[in-house]
Structure 1
Amino acid sequence: MDLKVGVIGTGFIGREHIKRINNKLSGAQVTAVNDINVEAAKSIAEKFNSKFYNSAVDLINSDEVEAIIVASWDPTHAEFVLESIKAGKYVFCEKPLATSAEETLMIIDEEIKFGKKLVQVGFMRRYDRGYREIKNEIENKEIGAPLIIHSIHRNKVPEPQFTTEMSIKNSVIHEIDLYRWLLGEDYKIAQVVIPKTSKNAEGELLDPQIVLLETESGVRIDVESFVNCQYGYDVRCEVVGEEGTLTLADPHQTIKRKKGKKSHPIFPDWSDRFSEAYDIELQEWINDVKKDEMNGPSSWDGYMASYTADLCSQARIKNEIIEIPTQKCPDFYCK
């Protein structure tokens, strides 16, 4: 029996999730959709034989929906996740889980009160084959203890109205979650360095930025965020260990040799680069929900990523090295 999924938000990522669930993945069908753009949502509903709901809350509480995907405007995430918990339904929420630490803690409190983990946050890089291989190598101590991580996160051009703060809270937040997961530890120090700003940065945007983090055990991490690199989408990672290094490889691409040159294409954006990771992420979520369990990034993971990103933003504004106070993980999430 297919899992009946309701999708709130039929913008780009919402549409992509609907297409992959109905056309590529197994064990689920999108049965309901909602979006503030009524005509677009109705068109999607008709195309995929789903029911359109004028109200996201009605969709969540419908008997025709067993699990929910929240891919709507960021400030609406907390409301819909809280309503899903209230309804006792599993919910996959694209990052951010909420736009403030206070809202995220409300979600955590309600989930603990309900007594069951229902929420998964959409940190898709945890599902990328390359990053999973790196994590496996680290856990098997193939390079000894990690000492340093060098990281790059470049976009060809940013979305309209992209701000300096968004470089960290919308972009680097992926690395913040990723390296906490790879290393299995939290951060204790944050700093942000602003190099010379690119001529392609519009308005008051400061771009590129370099985020420097130190983990509890002393691993140093540098993340270059450059959202106006002009040439394509480019993410890189090198883990330097006591006895070797691990380097993230690009997904398989054909290499062309012609007229004295060797070349391969560069991904245009994140959706192409991590297309397979999104597939794996949602397939594993579907499988988990059907087994009545939740194993992906939790509400606590969402909170820690946002909490760290907030402090990184403070470090940039104050131009200071900032300590990151330790947060005790509730037993509900960490045992």
Structure 2
Amino acid sequence: MTDLRVGIVGVGVMGADHAERVVRKTAGARLVAVSDADAGRAEALAGRLSPRSAGEPASTARHSGGSAYAETVRVVEDPMDLIAADDVDAVILASPGFAHAEQLFACLEHGKPVLCEKPLTMDAASALRVVEAEHKLGRQLIQVGFMRRFDPEYAALKQLLDSGDLGRTLLLHNVHRNKSAAPTFRSEMIVRDSMVHEVDVARWLFGEEITRITVHTPAPTSLVGDGVLDPQLAVFELANGAMADVEVFVNFQVGYEVRCEAVAERGSATIGLGSGVFTRAGERWGGTMPADFRIRFEQAYDIEVQRWVDATVRGAIDGPSAWDGYAAAAVCEAGLESLSTGKPVDVALADRSKVLG
């Protein structure tokens, strides 16, 4: 079987990580092209991942899946040209969120399956237009990069809750902490770029839509600039009467920490208590904490991309859909309004049955 030829748009932190993943870990896929607004960055990555740049014969260059690397990874200046290219079968979008709408419409126009990093788009209206455009094609091409669904701990929690062994799930408590964030990471980005993961987690674990969100802003840490509201505490209300909360703190200083506790009628379950060996010795206890999200969710990203490749070859998706991306955008849009007003805001969500038939 011929490898799926993948192009990546945006090769910053996440895009470069995916490029390495496609080349070194993903079976049945081959990285053929990259595009980035920073041409130098794209050239450097392409050079590093092209086997002959290191003197390695293309015929012997292999990744763990057993497929040969491309002879070279080419750089395409215009991302639209990459999407349209005949030698690109599928696209990973890791570009800035403001560029997603135009690039997603291009993927749909050219019939290219796409794994789109969050957010789907920057607002609910444009996200809904993407959903509608995909629906008109009669097949799903868009998968959204909510990788927590692929994390083994989250997957096990989902399986447990769906089994009914603990009874009906009533509450969800989430913690999402980063060691630090860039000075340019503003209050609104905490909602749209960080909290959005818990928005998807809540919808997925409960199997229900979020109908209302309230974002609370305690006194901010002294380690951020004026006007940045960090941490934030949000409360989600779901259509079935359940509730979820999330603390997002992007300048925690300690490390990267993500925890989730589900409280049900006959018990509770918690994930994210620590990776590696948890020790008790010499009147001390503890374990290790990863430095950033790429370490904590490395396995989730690996599984996500491999399953996306496998599903794409089958002509399907195997993960969060364009609708999931739209629903998350709608919740975050309401969250931004709540952030500015301090009041609960109802989520304005289109009728799924009318949009998707």
Q: What range describes the TM-score normalised by the shorter chain of this pair?
A: over 0.9
CA distance in 1, matches of 2:4, 2:226: 46
CA contact (8 A) 2:174 2:260 kept: yes
Instruction: Give 2:346's aligned residue.
Output: 323
Instruction: Give 1:194's aligned residue.
Output: 217
Q: CA deviation at 1:75?
A: 1.1
CA distance in 2, matches of 1:332, 1:2: 34
Match of 2:112 among 81, 89, 100: 89
* Cα 1:332–1:189 shift into 2, 3 Å: closer
Match of 2:137 among 94, 111, 114: 114
TM-score by length of 2: 0.90
CA distance in 2, matches of 1:299, 1:53: 26
Q: CA deviation at 1:63?
A: 1.3
Instruction: Give 1:46's aligned residue.
Output: 47
CA RMSD of aligned residues (A): 1.6
4+ residue segments displaced more than 3 Å: 249-252, 255-260, 330-333
Instruction: Give 2:14's aligned residue.
Output: 13
Corresponding letter in the other structure for 2:96: W
Q: Report whether the alignment pairs 1:237 with 2:238.
A: no
User: Which SS does the other structure have where 2:288 is aligned?
Assistant: coil
User: Which SS does the other structure have where 1:254 is aligned?
Assistant: strand
CA distance in 2, matches of 1:61, 1:119: 16
User: Which SS does the other structure have where 1:18 is aligned?
Assistant: helix
Instruction: Give 1:184's aligned residue.
Output: 207
TM-score by length of 1: 0.95
Corresponding letter in the other structure for 2:228: L
CA distance in 2, matches of 1:164, 1:249: 25
CA distance in 2, matches of 1:65, 1:330: 33
CA distance in 1, matches of 2:284, 2:206: 39
Instruction: Give 2:102's aligned residue.
Output: 79
Corresponding letter in the other structure for 1:253: G
Q: CA deviation at 1:196?
A: 2.0
User: Which SS does the other structure have where 1:96 is aligned?
Assistant: coil
CA distance in 1, matches of 2:273, 2:6: 32
User: Which SS does the other structure have where 2:303 is aligned?
Assistant: helix
CA distance in 2, matches of 1:28, 1:332: 33
CA distance in 1, matches of 2:197, 2:20: 24
String of CA shifts for 1:7-41, please: whole Å, max 9, x gaps: 11111111110111110121101011111111221
Gaps of 5+ in 1: none
CA distance in 2, matches of 1:102, 1:150: 29
Q: CA deviation at 1:197?
A: 1.7
CA distance in 1, matches of 2:36, 2:82: 11
How many residues are matched?
Answer: 334
Identical counterparts, % of pairs? 35
Equivalent runs, 1:1-335 vs 2, <5 Å: 1-48=2-49, 49-250=72-273, 252-256=275-279, 259-330=282-353
Corresponding letter in the other structure for 1:32: A
CA distance in 2, matches of 1:43, 1:269: 23
CA distance in 2, matches of 1:322, 1:331: 23
Instruction: Give 2:69's aligned residue.
Output: none
